Each structure stands twice: as structure tokens, then as C-alpha cells.
Amino acid sequence: MSRPRVFVAGATGYTGRHLVRSCAARGVETVAHVRPDSPRLAEWRRDFAAMDAAVDTTPWERGAMADMLRRRRPTHVFMLVGTTRARGRRAARARRPAETYTSVDYALPHLLIAAATDAAVRDPSVRPVLVYLSGVGAREDTRNAYLRVRGVVERELRESGLPWLAVRPSFITGGDREERRPLERAAAAAIDLLLVPLALLGARRLRARYASLHGAELADGLMRVTLDDGRVGRVVTADELR
């Protein structure tokens, strides 16, 4: 494999920050994407510079992203963007543009897949591996919007013509997450607890697949399945990330 160069969309999120830190610490050329209108742009520039990562502020527009990918030529594009219902409510209260699973969790990876495809058509030597952080249970035929958009993005990856990986963790938790998310943490803790006796009864694989992952553990797992393993065109479950 050529020398890895990673581009991380969603670099300012919990998983993104861990991934940028881990990749840069390993000496991998790392670009952290920050939305250009981020109110914390100066802070992110400082934090990512301290990690030895570059910052990119290309706007979320298909043409601009395609040009950026042709210029930067990443070997891997990580898609770690997403919103929550709580963030959506905060956006509505502040009269900001709507933030929903459709407008963020679907629309942004969809745009990035299209931009990467455009870049590859213009310059066939640009063929990044698209690494999508999906979720356990992702499928198109469900009324659950969170899982459905993940199922749709996974299909678009398969149809993109580019190398891809869809990574399906269960809960991603950790005391070092900036946002508190008490319900998510409680649900993760309850499931983790339930999986202990099951693992003792022999269902170790079940536990490895469904127990929560800490951000640092997930970042290490992501690097292993992308930069070290190199197999593409497949779904990666959480047991492979531990």
C-alpha cells in the first residue's frame, strides 16, 4: 500500500478526535476536517496543530469536496459525522438550520461519496478507501430513521465503485466525551452488564460484538482494519475492533 494519508470528516467529534490523535501519533499524514462555519474553528486549529494534524475547512459542497480530494489525494476518507435528537432540538431552539438524521447522518456521507466518485472520474489515480462509521443493526427496511439512513449510506458505498468499509460499532462511550449523553451512557452500561453473564455462559462473540467501545479503543480498531489489514468491500463488526 502507498504511504497512508487520511482525511477525517467529523474530526471534531468524539471518535474523530481520538482517530486524528492516534493516526498522527503513528506518523500518518492526517487531515482533520472542520466545518468552515464552526464557532470553535480557532480552538480546533490549535488542538489539531498540537496533535501534528493539518486542518481542512472545505465547505460541505460536492464540487468543493471533489476538488479538495483531488488536491490532497487521501488514501483513506473517514466519515464520522452524525447528529443526535438532542442536537436537533438545540438547533431548532436556536433557529439554526434543521439538524436531522436525514440532513446530517445521511446527507453528509452521501455528499462525500459523490465527491470522491467525481474526483476518481476526473483523475482515476485518486481512489481513496471510503471508511464509514455506521452502526450495529444498520438496514434499509426499517422505520427506525437512525438505522435506515445507515443502511442507505452502506448501499451507496457498495454502489460507489470505490473501495469501502462499513464499520458497525454498538455504543461508543467514554468519560472523556465532551457531551454528557446520560441516556446513551445508561443504555450502554445496561447492555454491557447484561453481556457479562452471557459471555460467562459461552457467548463471548456476542459480547465482543455488542458491548460498548471507548473512543480510543475504537480509533485503534479503525486504524487496524484500515491501515494494517487492508481488506476492503466489507462490513466490519465490533468484535474486529477490539
Ligand X SMILES: NC(=O)c1ccc[n+]([C@@H]2O[C@H](COP(=O)([O-])OP(=O)(O)OC[C@H]3O[C@@H](n4cnc5c(N)ncnc54)[C@H](OP(=O)(O)O)[C@@H]3O)[C@@H](O)[C@H]2O)c1
Q: Does 171 bind ligand X (CB under 6 A)?
A: yes
CB of 7: closest distance to ligand X in angstroms? Answer: 13
Give the Cα separation of 40 and 30 in Å (integer): 20
**Residue 161 · residue 116 · CB < 8 Å:** no
Residue 147 parent element (H or E): helix 145-159
Which of positions 192-231 make contact with ligand X (CB under 6 A)?
A: none
Residue nearer to ligand X on the CB measure, 120 or 148: 148
Give the Cα separation of 232 and 163 in Å (integer): 6
Other beta carbons less than 10 A from residue 215's beta carbon? 21
Give me the sign of the Cα torsion angle 148, 142, 138, 191.
Answer: positive
Among 53, 111, 172, 238, binds ligand X (CB under 6 A): 172
Query: Which x/- pattern, by CB under 6 A, does the window 180-199 give for ligand X?
Result: ----x---------------
Residue length, the chain? Answer: 242
Query: Which x/- pattern, by CB under 6 A, does the window 25-64 give for ligand X?
Result: ----------x--x--------------------------
Among 105, 118, 156, 220, binds ligand X (CB under 6 A): 105
Minimal CB distance residue for ligand X: 13
Other beta carbons less than 10 A from residue 227's beta carbon? 17
Give the Cα separation of 157 and 168 in Å (integer): 14
- Which residues are CB-contacts of 236 (< 8 A; sequence separation ≥ 6)? 165, 166, 167, 168, 225
Residue nearer to ligand X on the CB measure, 23 or 172: 172
Bridge-based pairing state of the strands 164-168 and 234-237: parallel
Q: Does 135 bind ligand X (CB under 6 A)?
A: yes
Q: Does 13 bind ligand X (CB under 6 A)?
A: yes
Q: Does 142 bind ligand X (CB under 6 A)?
A: no
Among 4, 6, 7, 12, binds ligand X (CB under 6 A): 12
**Residue 195 · residue 207 · CB < 8 Å:** yes
Residue nearer to ligand X on the CB measure, 127 or 242: 242
Helices 145-159 and 107-122 meet at what angle, rounded to 10? 10
Among 31, 81, 115, 241, binds ligand X (CB under 6 A): 81
Residue nearer to ligand X on the CB measure, 74 or 169: 169
Residues in touch with ligand X (CB under 6 A) = 10, 12-16, 35, 38, 80-83, 99, 104-105, 108, 133, 135, 169, 171-172, 184
